[in-house]
């Protein structure tokens, strides 16, 4: 047992271990997702987060140590987000025809995401730093972290809230939209992108390519609008 502990202590300090663990956890999550016939509740990101969180807890590994390896995956978030422009370009005619509804839905969705979260947090007595961390939770992670930091929030907490928001949207969006009888793939995708950014967008692409394209649009536009509105909305709650 002593030899095993020593080996683990040596390996856990190397970034390659945690990069491998991250990829392996997602591979397991994706396999479970396929076995579950793409059921929303078997979201691969959710499964990967649970597996990695359990591993870090059992081994007593600090997040900073884990991130030394996971940062390579984190770096790819930027290029992956830019790649969403490709399916969006293929659907430009649909976007032009729905321009006004898209703008209206964007404003309503973005403001609702911020106001509802801040209202609930305020009722539970959240302080200013927590409110600042919570306000941009529906924007994509790199943007949300920057917004929160600029408003005096905690970037690490914002990152956690963004991931939880994305996973929740990816799991609940499809059954909820089915229950509401919404059949327009443009509206379904855009709603998911505005509410649950990249993780929701990935789920939208799994459901339908048009939904994925509009989810990518919603995610991008909501990031811009949240950056503009979040300081103003937060200021109203801090008065």
Q: Are 117 and 137 in contact (CB under 8 A)?
A: yes
Q: Are 48 and 20 in contact (CB under 8 A)?
A: no
Domain residue spans in the chain? 1-75, 84-239
Which of these, 155, 132, 130, 154, lies nearest to 142 by C-alpha position? 155
Token look-up 């390996």 returns 11
At 175-197, the pLDDT tens digits run 888 898 888 888 899 999 998 88
What's the pTM?
Answer: 0.77
Name the CA dihedral angle for 80, 85, 90, 95, rounded to a multiple of 10 degrees. 130
Enter the tokens of residue 185.
Answer: 């793939």
At 129-171, the pLDDT tens digits run 899 999 999 888 778 888 888 888 888 888 888 888 888 888 8
């Amino acid at each position: 047992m002593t030899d095993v502990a020593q080996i683990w202590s040596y390996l856990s300090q190397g970034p390659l271990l945690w990069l491998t663990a991250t990829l392996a956890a997602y591979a397991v999550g994706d396999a479970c997702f396929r076995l579950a016939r793409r059921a929303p509740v078997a979201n691969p990101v959710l499964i990967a987060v649970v597996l990695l969180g359990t591993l870090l807890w059992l081994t007593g590994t600090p997040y900073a140590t884990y991130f030394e390896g996971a940062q390579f995956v984190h770096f790819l978030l930027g290029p992956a987000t830019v790649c969403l422009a490709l399916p969006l370009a293929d659907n430009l005619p649909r976007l032009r025809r729905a321009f006004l509804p898209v703008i209206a839905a964007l404003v309503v969705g973005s403001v609702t995401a911020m106001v509802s979260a801040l209202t609930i947090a305020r009722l539970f007595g959240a302080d200013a730093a927590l409110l600042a961390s919570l306000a941009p939770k529906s924007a994509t992670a790199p943007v949300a972290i920057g917004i929160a930091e600029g408003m005096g929030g905690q970037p690490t907490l914002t990152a956690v809230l963004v991931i939880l928001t994305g996973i929740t949207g990816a799991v609940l969006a499809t059954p909820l939209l089915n229950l509401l009888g919404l059949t327009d793939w443009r509206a379904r995708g855009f709603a998911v992108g505005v509410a649950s950014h990249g993780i929701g967008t990935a789920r939208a692409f799994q459901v339908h390519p048009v939904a994925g394209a509009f989810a990518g649009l919603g995610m991008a536009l909501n990031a811009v609008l949240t950056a503009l509105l979040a300081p103003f909305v937060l200021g109203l709650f801090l008065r």
